[in-house]
């Protein structure tokens, strides 16, 4: 065998092992034909609020149900930070919050980040972004990595939005509904694409963020419906949380902006608010159906990789809380649906844990683009194809940094395995939390003080520090934000 042949084989092996990267800028690997890819992101959609899960018996999401049946539902999908901007930045960069430093909804983009669509664009993809960007308190200006851009500043509005389309703003009236508008424009872009090039569509919905506003055709569909309140709903009200050894800050939140007794500083009934949430979700489900119908008409439904995901979860009464930020399951878990019949058979529901930092690596792998070294995640496609050699996560790590506008939730670092979850709080005089998820899926019994669990707590705490040290996260990224006079209170719509 010639020296050149040996060199070629060695280079291939190094690339396969993921250690051949000379400059950190991945280029097309030319291993396979680039695949068309669609990524649909929703806001505040918790992992089990879909018809097929049975969590809410009266909720109907036929298109999401079909996507799961024909593809896969990953029930153990997690975000690294349960908050809009940090999670979206983690998706786009493939990095933890302490690495990209967009640690809350106001922290600015540091200006040195590379988003995975930039690699796709460099590899010849036509890339389109439609919807909510909201990363680092940014406005609606076009961002790098997208050949076509349509967005709005901040959270946007549900009705009569203004879109920045490739630098030109257009306002829509006559009760134009944002979910429908974004879907219509996304499909129109697909239809007008250059059919000689692969495409990547990033459809980023405002829904189902509070305050929930369904499309007019869906308003009232679930009027009067109620959910079964969670097992941990009343503990902070009755005082039982003390026996369960919950932290005091959890109990104190019950009457806060994020508590069930004063939700968003309103006295609304929780069931009515859940109805609004579910009715708003119906527009998103129809959006999924519209996109899938287009792919079928075009003959692309077998070969296109479609990924549906939420940017963070949402609590509906668990531990007396609503909204997100905390590390309880309903806050950190997100829906993750994946479909590509050409890659794997449908009906799968693998239990392996995946995170939002795996989205970039997954998409790059299917585009034939080498994963950069600064992305610690991995493609989850091998899990779906049944690759026995594929490695899976043994744990997920979590971080959330205290926010000036929402001081009721402390800084938290966490770790979760299939068996246990550990939460370590920073800057607050309170107890940490440890839960046995196998025997206590509702996270009701805090075992942090149990004598026989001390080694587990110590080991998980040490593992969190190891993770932070390995990923340069031992310094909390403090960002300059606007401060208000003592005694002033500012309501923010960026919750």
Average pLDDT score over residue span 198-209: 98
Give the position of tokens 């960007």: 133
Structure tokens at 422: 């550990």
Give residue 485's pLDDT. 45
SS3 category, 308: strand
pLDDT at 364 over 50: yes
pLDDT at 72 over 90: yes
* Residue with the larger pLDDT of the pair 488 and 334: 334
Give residue 118's pLDDT. 98
- What pLDDT digit, counting tens, does each position of 442-468 carry? 999 999 999 999 999 999 999 999 999
Give the position of tokens 């040195």: 112
pLDDT at 2 over 70: no
Give residue 137's pLDDT. 63
- What pLDDT digit, counting tens, does each position of 259-304 carry? 999 999 998 999 999 999 999 999 999 999 999 999 999 999 999 9
Q: In b/e form, how buried is each residue of 474-483, taking b as 16+ CB within 10 angstroms?
A: eeebebeeee
Q: Specify the DSSP class assigned to residue 106.
A: S
pLDDT at 391 over 90: no
Give residue 388's pLDDT. 83
Q: What percent of the chain has pLDDT over 70?
A: 90
Q: Which of 201, 86, 93 is nearest to 150 (CA)?
A: 201
pLDDT at 341 over 70: yes
Average pLDDT score over residue span 345-373: 97
pLDDT at 26 over 60: no
Give residue 31's pLDDT. 59
Give the position of tokens 């844990």: 353
User: C-alpha angle with apex 39: 154 to 376, nearest 5 degrees?
Assistant: 90
- Residues 491 and 265 sit within 8 Å (Cβ to Cβ): yes
pTM score: 0.92
Q: Which residues contact 90 (CB under 8 A, 6 or more apart)?
A: 79, 80, 81, 96, 97, 100, 356, 357
Average pLDDT score over residue span 77-81: 98
CATH numbers and ranges of domains, the chain: 29-237+269-391 (3.40.720.10)
Average pLDDT score over residue span 382-406: 92
pLDDT at 30 over 60: no
Q: Which residues contact 133 (CB under 8 A, 6 or more apart)?
A: 88, 140, 143, 151, 204
Give the position of tokens 């009701």: 444
Average pLDDT score over residue span 138-146: 92
Give residue 404's pLDDT. 85
Average pLDDT score over residue span 155-172: 97
Q: What is the mean pLDDT of the chain?
A: 91
Sign of the alpha-carbon dihedral angle for 235, 241, 244, 247: positive
Instruction: Give the pLDDT band of residue 430 (cuts 50, 70, 90).
Output: very high
Structure tokens at 467: 């993770």
- Residues 379 and 362 sit within 8 Å (Cβ to Cβ): yes
Give residue 33's pLDDT. 82
Phi/psi for 162 (5° steps) reads: -110, 125
Q: Which of 423, 428, 467 is nearest to 447 (CA)?
A: 423
Give the position of tokens 């944002």: 178
Structure tokens at 183: 């879907």
pLDDT at 117 over 60: yes
- Residues 281 and 61 sit within 8 Å (Cβ to Cβ): yes
Give residue 437's pLDDT. 98
Structure tokens at 15: 């690339």
* Residue with the larger pLDDT of the pair 14 and 187: 187
Whats the size of the chain, residue-wise? 495
Average pLDDT score over residue span 72-87: 97
Phi/psi for 335 (5° steps) reads: -70, 135
């Amino acid at each position: 065998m010639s020296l050149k042949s040996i060199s070629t084989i060695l280079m291939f092996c190094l690339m396969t092992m993921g250690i051949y990267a000379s400059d950190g800028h991945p280029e097309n690997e030319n291993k396979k034909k680039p695949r068309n890819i669609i990524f649909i992101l929703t806001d505040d959609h918790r992992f089990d609020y879909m018809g097929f899960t049975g969590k809410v018996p009266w909720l109907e999401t036929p298109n999401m149900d079909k996507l799961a049946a024909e593809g896969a539902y990953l029930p153990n999908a997690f975000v690294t930070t349960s908050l809009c901007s940090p999670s979206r930045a983690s998706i786009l960069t493939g990095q933890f919050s302490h690495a990209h430093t967009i640690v809350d909804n106001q922290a600015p983009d540091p200006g040195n980040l590379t988003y995975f669509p930039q690699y796709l664009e460099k590899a010849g993809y036509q890339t389109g972004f439609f919807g909510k960007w909201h990363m680092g308190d940014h406005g609606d200006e076009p961002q790098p990595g997208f050949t076509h851009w349509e967005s709005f500043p901040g959270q946007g509005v549900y009705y009569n939005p203004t879109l920045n389309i490739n630098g030109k703003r257009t306002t829509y009236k006559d009760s134009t509904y944002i979910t429908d508008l974004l879907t219509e424009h996304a499909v129109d872009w697909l239809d007008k694409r250059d059919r000689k090039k692969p495409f990547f569509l990033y459809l980023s919905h405002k829904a189902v963020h509070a305050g929930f506003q369904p499309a007019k055709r869906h308003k009232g569909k679930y009027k009067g419906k109620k959910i079964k309140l969670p097992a941990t709903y009343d503990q902070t009200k009755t005082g039982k949380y003390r026996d369960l050894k919950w932290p005091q800050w959890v109990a104190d939140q019950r009457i806060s902006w994020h508590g069930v007794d004063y939700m968003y500083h309103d006295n609304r009934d929780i069931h009515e608010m859940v109805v609004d949430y579910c009715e708003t979700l119906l527009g998103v489900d129809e959006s999924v159906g519209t996109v899938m119908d287009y792919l079928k008409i075009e003959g692309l439904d077998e070969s296109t990789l479609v990924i549906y995901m939420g940017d963070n979860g949402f609590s509906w009464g668990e531990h007396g809380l609503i909204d997100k930020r905390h590390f309880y399951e309903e806050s950190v878990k997100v829906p993750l649906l994946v479909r590509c019949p050409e890659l794997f058979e449908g009906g799968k529901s693998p239990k392996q844990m995946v995170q939002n930092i795996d989205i970039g690596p997954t998409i790059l792998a299917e585009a034939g683009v080498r994963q950069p070294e600064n992305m610690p995640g991995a493609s989850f496609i091998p899990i779906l194809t049944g690759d026995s050699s594929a490695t899976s996560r043994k744990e997920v790590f979590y971080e959330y940094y205290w926010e000036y506008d929402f001081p009721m939730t402390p800084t938290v670092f966490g770790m979760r395995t299939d068996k246990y979850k550990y939460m370590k709080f920073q800057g607050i005089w309170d107890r940490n939390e440890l839960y046995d998820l196998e025997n206590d899926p509702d996270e009701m019994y805090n075992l942090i003080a149990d004598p026989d669990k001390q080694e587990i707590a110590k080991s998980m705490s040490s593992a969190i520090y190891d993770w932070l040290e390995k990923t340069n996260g031992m310094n909390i990224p403090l960002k300059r934000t606007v401060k208000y006079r003592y005694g002033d209170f500012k309501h923010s719509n960026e919750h």
